[in-house]
Chains A and B, each alone.
Chain A
Amino acid sequence: MTPLVEVKDLSVRFDGTPSVYAVNDVSFTLAQGEVLGILGESGSGKSVTLKTLLRLLPERRARVTGEVKVNGSDVLGLTGRALADHRGGVVSMIFQDPALALDPVYTIGRQIAETVVRHDGVSMREGKARALEMLELVRIPSAKRRLAAYPHEMSGGMRQRAMIALALSCRPKLLLADEPTTALDATVQIQVLLLLRELQRELGMGVIFVTHDIGVAVEVSDKLAVMYAGSFVEAGSVAEVIGDARHPYSKGLLAANLVGAEPGATLEAIPGAPPALHAPPVGCAFAPRCPIATKACEAGPLPVWRTSEARWARCVAACAASAPESCQTAAE
């Protein structure tokens, strides 16, 4: 079976003075009905990676190279109507701030109906009926009344539900979620997370979920990828990455999230700050902050520790610590 998403050697560079190498050689696959969590700090390139899947980056300034296939079609080659069909029909996205993502001058019902009319070619009346169905699906209370509500008339949690309804209204095969719960309060965040998880199962869609919060990633994902300075540094199932992190950055991130930390004790903080991405990375981008970096880390190409297709870490130390047969040098 061909995977739903196939990304190969994706790189994104933003031209300008100076240029920014936002994403560097990212490859991953996602099967139908799977949830991939991408974990990373601000500026690590996680949102840029998502936006390439929808071709939302500014065409003139962003140099995108590599291969991006979603549902069999080559996303980077899409133009015109095919691209418009792709956006919202095959792939759709939910954003961190629903107040910015929704149109303030149209009612929620109208916005959802419009999308349905465009993609499914049905009448406005049928579109409205679908909108009501969707609002009920995301469990907005008194959905019928809310169809006529404008975004500013709803609370943050409700707006986020409305955006999920909008994104799912055309039954996309792939949902991209860019920190959708970060702006929400704790008690509302967990409601939205559980709703997303349930809808994902019910509709059997693939989801790529970007977050900086390990807890949130654990709640929703099947697979997890850790991103640093524009590259994936480690990937595996959630249990593997959380329980047995191999890359020093993943380990540091877990410690910084106070996983199993003794209250009041000094935290094993990662020193320094993430690098500015003004040059293409040579060797390991994490080496300057890494407590166990060696000469080999700075030079590259880096070896990859790998136990299966989906479970790997790009780290010299992870390789050195395990049997040589689980290690590949980049040349192979």
Chain B
Amino acid sequence: MSAVLSAHNLVKHFPLGGWGKARRVVRAVDDVSFEVPAGETLGVVGESGCGKSTTARLLVQLLAPTSGAVRFEGRVVGPEVPLKELRRHVQMVFQDSYASLNPRMTLQQAIAFGPMVHGVSETEAQRTAMTLLERVGLDPSRFGQRYPHEVSGGQRQRVNIARALAFEPKVIVLDEAVSALDKSVEAQVLNLLMDLKRERGLTYVFISHDLNVVRHISDRVMVMYLGEVAEIGPVREIYAEPRHPYTSALLAAMPSLDPSRRTEEPPLLGDPPNPINPPAGCRFHTRCAHAMDICSARRPGDLAVGSRHLAACHLNDLAEKETAA
């Protein structure tokens, strides 16, 4: 399967000021590589500050990487794929449905605006906008002329999805797109996303902190911790048999939905460390129950622990050596 979108050693550091040796940076994303095969949904999970959103913004080039590259269908974005072309194929939906719409444009105008900038005639763009509104479940005659503040959060998020679809993109990056919605509305939007994917053969990068939602919608999952990829692999494997202690802890931290089996022990203590000065070696070693000497000394490499399943943990080198011996 060919990757429609891939990240190659992406790094993003945000400067915090200071000069020379005193210069400090937030290591938001540090050497992240992964592939998104066409037609798959890649779920991205992790706690706040782990670099999920920065990764999303790097993928669609809303931020320029400090180093590393994004490739679209094998070609490097920037030199080989101009931004204008990338935008046609890769679109994004944000968490805050209100902030991502222009308050002075009607919903129909908002959807038609992008294609018009790209040279589609106005009548054609308006017609597409009507069809798309209809497709996301909003009656165009009732909603087309309304402004963003006149509709509910769930309806606004549908408009944002329709706007992303206006270019007939290949990939949509969804950054916490359903997190701000109420549960009952969230389920409707998830259904819409799954239907659209089947219908149009879309590829999603689905970023969320909600592990239940990610399990439901993803084919593969990437777990991030402090700007690095801890583990990436098929959704079933990761949820059934996580190979990184952080993944296990994250899964164990999900509230139990069974009153007779409540959580008894918190799987992790303390807060995630600061990405300004992350721990040396494996960044998780300060909170890891299995930490060994090597963990603080050397950063673990991505080790294949299954087919298309990578984990960055020294525990897996050990297992490897034992099976080799």
Contact = CB atoms under 8 A, between A and B. Distances in A.
Range class of the A interface residue count: 35 or more
A264 interface: yes
Given A191-B266, A219-B262, A214 B257 contact: yes
A187 B47 contact: yes
A238 interface: yes
A190 B212 contact: no
A148 interface: no
B250 A186 contact: yes
A252 B191 CA distance: 14
Interface string A187-201: 111110110000000
B215 interface: yes
B231 to A, nearest CB: 15
B184 A263 contact: no
A190 B255 contact: yes
A273 B185 contact: yes
A249 B122 CA distance: 43
B257 A257 contact: yes
Contacts of A212: 182-183
Given A264-B194, A267-B187, A186 B266 contact: no
Interface residues of B, number: 47
Contacts of A264: 194, 216-217
B64 interface: no
Contacts of B191: 266-267, 269
Contact of B267 (A190, A193, A213): A190
B267 A187 contact: yes
Given A253-B184, A256-B184, A191 B269 contact: yes
B26 interface: no
B273 to A, nearest CB: 10
Interface of B: 47-48, 152, 154-155, 182-188, 190-191, 194-195, 209, 211-213, 215-217, 235-236, 249-250, 252-260, 262-272
Given A218-B262, A219-B263, A243-B259, 14 more contacts: A42-B182, A190-B255, A191-B266, A191-B268, A212-B183, A218-B259, A237-B259, A253-B183, A261-B216, A263-B215, A266-B194, A267-B191, A270-B187, A273-B154
